[in-house]
Amino acid sequence: MLALVTDSTCDLPPEAAGELHLHVVPLHVQFGGQSFLDWQSIDPDRVYEYQRGGGTVTTAPVTQAAFEAKYRELLETHDQILSVHLSGHLSTTVEHARQAARALNAGDRIHVHDSHMASFPMAELLMAAREVVRAGGGMEQALAAIRTLSERLLVELTVPTLEYLRRGGRISRTQALVGNMLGVRPVLRFDDGRLQAVRRVRASQAARDILSQMESRFGREPVAVTVAHAGRDPGRIAELQTYVKGSKLNVGRGRVQLMGPVIGAHVGPGTYGIMARPL
């Protein structure tokens, strides 16, 4: 039996993660003199409301001790553990997972994988691994599915401002100054685990611009598309879905995902992303 472990920045709510039989270890969100467990003791919208009011939100990675406790528990009931986490360039969480695996001296029973991503694309990788496990596959097959999908999907995000990423040290002050131009939104991609601004577009054209990149990449190949949004904004989410439906993409399946408290602390309210992957 293979257990799938991840951290809360996959942004799958607890009920969704439970349905997928994912074992999620939460990061921490801190503001207003309090510390919360990502997704478990705080709702994403509370973070966005605090940020809109001018408050600063910080985060803390999963500790080595938390991973050790989870791995010990799962090794009693599973043969192996595949532990998939957000990019090591964005957090020390994955390194703490590696330290925990070494401390337990479990040999090849635990494999820690850096997804080089976070949030909704990381969730997509986990869902691909789960399909392999459900079909009876093991560690190598699940890793192969993750690596193949990582190379084939395309995900882009756009933020109203780069200020939150700058505060968290995810981009430089210079990048923030260049990106924060009036009426212009930066478009970001994961590049070898780092969030990089790849171009700037007018705010009103950002969604169409992102979709045009996906049209060029996939043509009429059937794809699954995910729309992710920082905050529950039904009108805005419906607008983004309308853009997807009006694109030239051959959409065979679609879903919507919220960005969670930890991710929200770094990207800020109003951020959205679109991801396409071959079916």
Record the tokens describing residue 185, joined without a space.
Answer: 């939104």
Which of helix, strand or coil describes residue 201?
Answer: strand
Which of helix, strand or coil describes residue 158?
Answer: strand
**Regarding beta strands 22-25 and 2-7, do their DSSP bridges make them parallel or antiparallel, or are they unpaired?**
parallel
Is residue 171's pLDDT more than 60? no
Give the pLDDT of residue 166. Answer: 61
Note whether 2-27+62-151 and 154-278 share their fold: no
Sorted by sequence, the CB contacts under 8 Å of residue 192 that are 6+ apart come out as: 89, 116
pLDDT digits (tens, 9 = 90+) for 3-29: 999 999 999 999 999 999 999 999 999
Closest to 219 (Cα-Cα) out of 253, 248, 246: 248
Average pLDDT over residues 96-104: 97
Instruction: Give the start-to-end residue ranges of the domains of the chain.
Output: 2-27+62-151, 154-278
Is residue 174's pLDDT more than 60? no
CA–CA distance, 137 with 135 (Å, rounded to integer): 6
- For residue 57, name the pLDDT band (cuts at 50, 70, 90): very high
Pair 183, 160: CB distance under 8 Å: no
Phi (first) and psi of residue 252, to 5 degrees? -95, -20
Q: Looking at the structure, give the CATH architecture of the domain made up of residues 2-27+62-151.
A: 3-Layer(aba) Sandwich (3.40)
The highest-level CATH class for domain 154-278 is alpha beta
